[in-house]
Every structure is written in C-alpha cells, then in structure tokens.
Structure 1
Amino acid sequence: MKILNIPQVFSTKVRWPLIGGIGLACLAALANFGLLFLSGWLLAGAAVAGLGGVAAQRAFNMVLPATGVRFFATLRIVARYAERLITHDAALRIISQIRAKFYAHIAPLAPAALNTQRSGDLLSRFVADTDRVGQYYTDTIVPYIRALVCGCVFIAIFALFSKAVAFSVGLSFIVCGLFVPYVTGVVSDKILLRATMLQNKLQADLTDTINCLGEYLSLGAAQRQQEHLAHSQTQITTLQCYLAATQSAAKAITGLCATATSLVVLYYATQGLLTHTLSLPQVPMLVLGCLAAFDVLAPLPAARQSLGAARLAMKRLESACTTPICSAPHTATNTPNAPYTLKLHDISFKYQEEKEWVFNHATLSIQSGERVALVGPSGSGKSSLINLLFGFYPYQNGQASFGGADLHTMRAETLAGYIAVAGQDFHLFSGTVRDNLLLANAQATEQEIWNALETVQLADFIKEIPHGLDTFVGNEGLCLSGGQAKRLSIAQALLRKTPWLILDEPTEGLDAQTEQALLENLMRARPDATFVCLTHRPAVLPFMTRVLQIKDGMFSPLQEEQA
C-alpha cells in the first residue's frame, strides 16, 4: 500500500497548489539571481561612468537598471512570501490526506491486528511519520526541482556572455547538486535510521511511562525509568548532532565550491575583458551572478536528509497498513431484522496466538427480550463472546447470525446500532462527565442524561460535586473511583437506547447494597431490552431468566446446586 504516490498526489485537488508552489519557488530564485546579476552590472557601470568624465556620466542611463533592481527585489519578496503560503498549504493538505488514508487502513485492524503494537509507537506513526512524509514535498521535491530548473536557466544566461564561465558553473553545479548530496545521504542515512528508531522507541516509552506512572512509583522503579529515558534522549541528541555536523560540512563544501567557482569565473571574465569580448561592468555582474546561482544548491544536502527521513517514515506507515486483518471479512453490509435473536451454531473459535480452543463446537441461542447470564472462571471465554460478536476476531468454524443476518455480512459499526456494550476494559476519555455521556449519544437531552445517571446510582454523587455534569473525570476516569467509572460506562450503554445490552461484570467493585439497587434499576429502566450479563457474582443471577455456564468451550445450563 502506497502512502504517498507522487503522480497520484499531482492528479488530486492539490495539484495546482503543488505546481504553483514549485513555480513560485523557481521565480523567487530567478528574481534573487536577477537582483545580484543586475546589481553587479549597475554598480560597476556607475563606477565606470563616474571615472569617464561628464560626458560618460550623462550618457549612462541609471534609471533603467535601477528600476530593474527594484523590480527584482520586489519580485523576490513577493514570490518568496507567496511560495511559503502556497507550498505549506499544499503540504498541510497532503498531510491531511495521508493521515486520513492511514487511519482508513488501520481502523479495520483494531483491535486484533493492533494488539501487538505499542500505543506510543502507533501514535508516533500517525503524527510524526505522516508529518515527515507530508513534508517530502516542501523539503525535498521543491528544492530539487528548483535547483534543476534554475540551474539550467543560470547556465544558459552565463553561456550568452562566456562559454567558459557557463562550463565552470555547470561543472560546479554537477558537483554540488549531485555528488555532495549523494555523499551526504550515504553518510547520514545510517545515522538517521538509528536516530529514528531511538526516537520512536523513546516516544513509545514515554507514553507507557505516563500511562503507568503509578505502577512505576509503587514498585520503586521511577528513578530507574527516568534514567533509562534520559539515556535514550542523550543517544538521540548525539545522533542529531552527527546529522547536523554532516549537514554543516555539506554546506561548507558547497560554500567553498561557490567561492572557488567565483574565482574561476573572475579569471575567465578578466580574460574576456582583455580580449574585448566582455565589458568592464560585466565582470562583477558574472561574479555576483555566480554567487547568487549557488543559493539554489545550498538547501540540497538538507533536502537529501529529508528524503531519507521521508523514506523511513513511509516504510513505517506501510508496514502498519500491510498488517494482515484478523477480523472476519465483510462481504456485504447487511442489517439485522427484528426480532433480534443471536444464534451460534457449532462455533469453533480461538485466538491466533493460542493453541487452545476458546469455543469448541459451541451452540448458543438468545432470544429477543431474554435476560441471560454467562458465568465461568476467568479465561473461560465470557469476554471473547463480545470479540466474536463484533467480528474483532474471526471464528474458525460454524455459523453465527444476529437478527437473521450472518455476522460475516455485518460491520461492527452496524452492529453497534443494535448492541450496546459496557465492557470490563472500558475507556473514559479525558473530559467532563457530560462529554463522556454525549459521546454515546450526541442527541441525548439533559433529562435523559440524568435518568441514566439515576439508573446507575450516580445522580446523587454528580449533584453533590461542585461542577456537576461538567466535572472533569481525568484521563481514563482517574478522578473517579473504580465503581463510579464502571457505572458511568453503564450509563453510556443505556443512553445508546439499543435493543440489546451486554454488560461485562456490571457490578464489579460495588458494595452489596449499591449492586442490588443498580440491578433493580437496570431491569426497571429497560424492561423490553435483551440483557446479557457476563459475570461471576452470584447477586446478578436472580435477575436473569436464564443462566449459562461456559465450560470446556461449550455453553450449558447452570445447575441450581452450582448457582
């Protein structure tokens, strides 16, 4: 999968800004060249006229070249400003396209194919790598095309005055435009690879450290982790210094070549003056023009490094996008029909990395409106049913349907409109109570929000705190207790107003009184809904119409003596 296909990008809506940016960059470089080129002739011509007496001074027309100097100076400013605006706008548009494309490819991979990815590393790919690839246009394409186009124009202009001067400048352009960037790339690519790997690892480590800071502190490992992060940053800084030194050396070599070429141009221009093929004002004109011409070569070493960084970023993005999809393939986008009955027949399912079957030729039928409890020890497959139902992981054998439609033909987004899940590993976003509840149902009214909070026994608590619904819950709900956060996730499920509710350990972390009140309120609030409770707590079972146990990969009725 190609994240950035240059011909394809130039065929999109960004095409004209891209081409316009390159054109303006070339125009600004040509204006800069014309400014120094004409200034050299003007100053030398004015000096010669001044030494030539009154007649020469009157014959010298300063207005026309001075106007040309002002024109080129103004053109350079305007062209550079417009070029910055257009190229950066185009780059940002490209970055937005890349990020949208990258997200579209990795979204179907979640969660099965991404469970081995570190969250910080994935975030680094989404932000830093897409940024590097998007800047490939401004940092690499524009400098190289500008150098090529303007270099040809400069050499052609020099050839009008002296073939030897044009040959000298052309030879220096080949050395500084091809050889120096090539050597820079050879030297810096390995350093850049090492620096990029360390930088990505550091970002992933920092994300893990922040998320698990409490564990590091409680285990007494915070200082050790801090030293590890500091050591990694030192390594990255050292490598970045090497890259900067390489780039500085390349710029210095380019500067030396510019100086040496200017001396050669001065020599040939002097010879032309002696042979009367060049006038005296043309000598400084050619020398200053030579110095101005090298301005388009100065960014090329940095452009070569940016090319290497973009290549590495593209490889990382493409490697993430080419990860095999573990979820079941969706051959169509069917929707279930009432009554919403779940049927699993002869289902065999296991996670790819595990050898043991989670479900082994299991059969299950849950009718619409039923209240079913699924019990079993940890690891028996209670939560795996959710993964199977939403197609997060494919089942290997058997048939599964919901509302008469095959699960293989329904997307998770479609199924989410009929089944709300309050999982055991729920996630509360960093925001207010209101924000998290509206995330489940953006059209929920104030009264509906309070009704949901009343059902989950949180209304009194929310009313007592100073900011009420606008209370900040913290990252992953850290400002709430475990039981409060769990009940808030159940309130989210209630606000979805789906015909099915799957509650994974809904009363975990609650005292007996709150547990009893919560279950009574849930059944009263949604009397017609289908409830599937995945639990190991006995207090839930009396509220269910049927209790099934998961044992040896099979669903079977729980005997009364076992309950």
Structure 2
Amino acid sequence: MRRVWRVMAAEGGMGRALALAALVLLAGWGLLALSGWFIAATAIAGLAGAGAVFDVFRPAASVRGLALLRTAARYGERMLGHDATLRAVAGLRGAVLAGLAAEPWSRLQKLRRGPALARVVADTDALDGLPLRLVLPGIAGLAVLALAAGLIGWLAGWQMAVWVCGAHLLAALAAGAWGLRRSSGLARAAAAAERDFSSHALDLVAARDDLAMHGRLPAQRALAMAAEARAAGLAGALDAAERDVALMLDLARIAAMAGSLGLGAAGIEAGLFGPAIAALSFFAAMALGEVVAPLCRAVADWGRIGDAADRVAPMLGRAMPAPAAAVPALPLQVGEVVLGPGQILGLCGPSGSGKSTLLAQIAGLVPPGDTAIALAGRPVSDWTEAALRAVLVMVPQRSALIAGTLRENLALAAPDADDDALHEILRAMRLDRLRGGLDLRLGDGGAGLSGGEARRLALARALLRKTPILLLDEPTEGLDEGTARQVMAEILQRSRDVALVIASHRPSDLKQAAFIRSFV
C-alpha cells in the first residue's frame, strides 16, 4: 500500500484534501463542544441571576461560525478530496499501463481478454478507496484527537483529556485490529467473487452468440449468477463485521461520556473547573465519536484495497519503454536463407505446419526454435523489445483494431502522417470507398468492417510504419482473387527496400518470392 500511495500522492492535491478533512472533523467537534458549554453556561448564569450581564453574543456567533465553517469545509473537502483522488487514480492507471508495457509479450497476450484484464481494471478502480477511506480519514482523525486532547487538558485537566480521548483512541485501535483480522479474508474473497462475476458477465456479452450456438448460454448464465450470489453473501458478512465495529465504537463513546460525567463532577467538587467546562467535556466526548466513525468503512474496505494493492504494486516503478531509434537490421537470416532489401521469403504448407510460429520467432514474440534467426548479424534474442519493434512489423492472421475512427487506427503506426498520406494508403489497399472515409467509426475490435476490410486496414497500418523488415501472415486471406492480386501488387511496390517474409496458402502471393520454404 505504501508503494501505491507514493504513486497516487505524487499527483498532488492530497495536502489540501487532508487539511480540509481535518478541518471538517475539528469544526464538528468544536461545534458540539461549544454548544454544550454555551447551553450550560447560559443556564448557570440564569440561575445565578446574572443572565442580564452574560455575554451571549460572542458564543452564539462562534456557534454559527463553526456551523458555517463545517458546511463550507465539508463542501471543499468533498470537491478537493475527490478531485485529488481522481487525479491520483489517473496517475496510478498511467503507472500501471507503463508497467504492463514493460511486461514480456507472453504475459501481455494473456491480459488482452478475459479474467486477467478484468482483474487489472477492477484492482485499479478499487484503489480509489486508499486515500478516501483509509489515509485521509485516518490522519485527519489522529490530528483532531491530538488537538482535542490538548484543548480538554488545558480547560479540564489531563485526567479528563486522557479519559475522553484515550477511550476513543484505544477503542479505535482495538476495534480496528479485531475488525481487520475478521474482515480481511472476507473482503479478499468478496473481491474475488466480484471479479468472477465480472468475468462471467463479460463472457456472456462478448461470446453470447457462440454460447447460444453451442447450447452453453444457460450454463454460463448460471455461473455468473452463482458468482453474484457468492459475492452478495460475502458482502453481507462484511456488513455484519462493520456493524460490530460500529457497536464497539459506540460503546466506547458511551464509556467516554460516562467517565467525563464522573470526572466532571469530581472536578466541580474539587473546584478545578465549573459546570460549564464539565458540560463541554461531556459534549466533546460525544462529538469525538464522529472522528473515529470512518473506521467502520475502513474495516470493510481494508482487505479489498490491500488485495488490489498486492497485485498492482509489482506493476509500478517500471519506465514506459521509449521508442528506439532505427538501427541497421538487414540482412535478415532465417536458417540458411539470407534476405537483403527487396528480397522475399515465401512460407508455404498446410495449416498447423509451423508457418505462423516461424513468423512469431522472427518477430521475437516466442523463443527461437531450431532455426537460426538473426538481424544484421545479431541473434533475434539479443535484440531489446524496443529496438526490435523499431525495425520490424508483423501482420498476424488476427490483427487487433481499436474502437475509433480509421484515422485513429492508422495513427497507431504513423502519428504524424497527414490526411493525404492516409488517403493514399487507403486507396492502395482498396479502402478508399468506405463510407465516412477517415472519419468512419469502428466498434470494439474493428466491428463495422468485413473480415477482408479489417485485414486490408491492418496491412495499411503496417505499410505506414516503413520498417526494413515486414512479416505477413496470410495477407490476402478473405479477399477475392482480383482484390488479392491488386493488394499484393501494392505491397510489393511499397516494399522494394524491405526484406519481406510472407506465409500464405495462395500461390499468387508467393510468385515473386526469391526463396521458398515449404512446411509439411
């Protein structure tokens, strides 16, 4: 949690939020304590016949001032506290994304879909409770307890201060230790059940058609409902633990109030202070219950936040890989074949024979096998991730398109390209007649395009990179023969200075290849 907090606090604003949170608690405590003193002092003055000379204006104005201050501070605390928290969570998300970007490709592939991705998102969202429910209320509460102890000790003596503030502090520590031990495991289990429900619900939405086709829709719905029921049961157990902690704190407040009455009576009898100060101490003991009340919510959230922090913290502190400058990458050696600029290696063979695996090995996505692979004389395993991506681009059979416009999808490869260049590459890939042009908006995963159109958009994006090595896996799959020939001709025209490796079942894609490697 300390590591996560350092990242979140670095976004700024927490100091102002903390000051306002403490001011809210202090104003509320002072309002009730001063009101109790004012009522008692006014009654005593009236009984003593001094009501006509008793100054009611300044205490009354102070009561009104504290009420207004509490309201204004509460508004500011809500506004600035949530603003600081939102900025902190945004900073945390950036740090998590930077950490994920530094992960090996094999781990990133697992995070693209399903429970792993849902867990990362849920963990980051759960950590907004770290400042709002743990850090800010805890520090503000301790500060107010210390100030209250000093004021009560000055007015009514240290015995009263120790009893009133000590009772609340000890009760908070005891209830917190007991409640955290009880709720930590429950909160972690509840968070896991909620993640399971989110995962099953996402599967229901994303794979509904496939599940229905195979008759698995009722079973998947039952899994989601079972996870939801499990989460609801654990949430009920957490609520029970929260209520038990609240009961312990209320009993401590009653004990503090009762003790303040006893000490107040003894102090009045001993002539240490008057009845008004005794009343102030009693109402101060009552008001301090508000200071420790956030502990109830903290107990319920501690396990969830700690569980999320345990998984998020290892992702932090890793720098986002900086784009590497292009370095000489040719010739490309693949086994006995050495490719220079403008040369093509064709890979042919039946499905499952290893063509895609060899392309992934050249791209550094999987460890090299028995085939020697080197770029500019250096084994591919010696290249850093950033350096390899700067000189090589691969179009797999299933390319990832993002939800957004065609322009935004192409900008992933060439952020600085102008619209003329983008229109030209769309024309080359026979995508210039799409409705909406560059402003055509796609859904998740490129929804809105046919399979062939999505493939050509991925090819257009790869050609915009202009890297010295281009790897294509079934580049014309899903295209009719005429469109396939036109698209392949454009690829070859734009790859005269590129070492090209093509895996394809279509003979026309490989007829220009200088080298052919067959798989069986």
| Shorter-chain TM-score above 0.5 | yes
> Aligned partners of 1:81 and 1:268: how far apart in 2?
37
8 Å CA contact 1:185–1:304 kept in 2: the answer is: yes
8 Å CA contact 1:336–1:404 kept in 2: the answer is: no
Q: Give the match for residue 155 of structure 1.
A: 149
> Aligned partners of 1:509 and 1:403: how far apart in 2?
34
> Aligned partners of 1:369 and 1:36: how far apart in 2?
84
For 1:337, the aligned partner's letter is P
Q: Does the alignment pair 1:4 with 2:6?
A: no
Q: Which of 208, 228, 231 is residue 236 of structure 1 equivalent to?
A: 231
Q: TM-score, normalised by structure 1?
A: 0.82
Task: Say which is worse superposed, 87-96 or 500-509, in terms of deviation.
Answer: 87-96
Shift of 1:6: 5.1
8 Å CA contact 1:335–1:410 kept in 2: the answer is: no
Change (3 A) 1:522 1:285: same
Shift of 1:493: 1.9
Q: TM-score, normalised by structure 2?
A: 0.88
5 Å-filtered alignment, 1:54-453, equals 56-117=50-111, 119-160=113-154, 161-318=156-313, 335-337=326-328, 340-344=330-334, 362-395=335-368, 400-403=373-376, 407-408=380-381, 410-453=383-426
> Aligned partners of 1:242 and 1:209: how far apart in 2?
28
Aligned-residue CA RMSD in angstroms? 3.1
Shift of 1:244: 1.9
> Aligned partners of 1:215 and 1:9: how far apart in 2?
41
8 Å CA contact 1:129–1:314 kept in 2: the answer is: yes
Task: Say which is worse superposed, 259-268 or 296-305, in terms of deviation.
Answer: 259-268
> Aligned partners of 1:103 and 1:274: how far apart in 2?
67
8 Å CA contact 1:3–1:318 kept in 2: the answer is: no
> Aligned partners of 1:57 and 1:322: how far apart in 2?
67
Change (3 A) 1:301 1:5: same
Change (3 A) 1:469 1:95: closer
In the TM superposition, what whole-angstrom CA distance separates every residue of 1:129-165 from its partner, at most 9, and x where no partner exists? Answer: 1233353133112222223232233233333415553
> Aligned partners of 1:230 and 1:175: how far apart in 2?
42
Q: Give the match for residue 51 of structure 1.
A: 47
Q: Give the match for residue 505 of structure 1.
A: 474
8 Å CA contact 1:98–1:134 kept in 2: the answer is: no
SS in 2 for 1:343: strand
Q: Percent identity?
A: 28
Q: Does the alignment pair 1:477 with 2:446?
A: yes
Task: Say which is worse superposed, 423-432 or 401-410, in terms of deviation.
Answer: 401-410
Shift of 1:508: 1.2
> Aligned partners of 1:5 and 1:435: how far apart in 2?
32
Task: Say which is worse superposed, 27-36 or 87-96, in terms of deviation.
Answer: 87-96
In the TM superposition, what whole-angstrom CA distance separates every residue of 1:236-264 from its partner, at most 9, and x where no partner exists? Answer: 12211221222123223322332343233
For 1:73, the aligned partner's letter is A
Shift of 1:229: 0.9
Q: Which of 33, 48, 58 is residue 29 of structure 2 equivalent to?
A: 33
In the TM superposition, what whole-angstrom CA distance separates every residue of 1:192-229 from its partner, at most 9, and x where no partner exists? Answer: 12111111222223333333222112112222212221
8 Å CA contact 2:95–2:316 kept in 1: the answer is: no
Figure out how many residues of one structure are paired with residues of the other and give that number: 516
> Aligned partners of 1:531 and 1:7: how far apart in 2?
47
Shift of 1:528: 4.3
Task: Say which is worse superposed, 209-218 or 155-164, in terms of deviation.
Answer: 155-164
8 Å CA contact 2:40–2:279 kept in 1: the answer is: yes
Change (3 A) 1:518 1:26: closer
8 Å CA contact 1:503–1:534 kept in 2: the answer is: yes
> Aligned partners of 1:311 and 1:504: how far apart in 2?
44
SS in 2 for 1:444: coil
For 1:501, the aligned partner's letter is L
| Uncovered stretches (5+) of structure 2, i.e. residues with no partner | none
For 2:328, the aligned partner's letter is N
Shift of 1:318: 4.3
Shift of 1:342: 0.6
For 1:268, the aligned partner's letter is L
For 1:515, the aligned partner's letter is A
Shift of 1:459: 3.1
Task: Say which is worse superposed, 235-244 or 267-276, in terms of deviation.
Answer: 267-276
For 2:431, the aligned partner's letter is L
8 Å CA contact 1:119–1:207 kept in 2: the answer is: no
Q: Which of 492, 498, 507 is residue 538 of structure 1 equivalent to?
A: 507
For 1:421, the aligned partner's letter is M
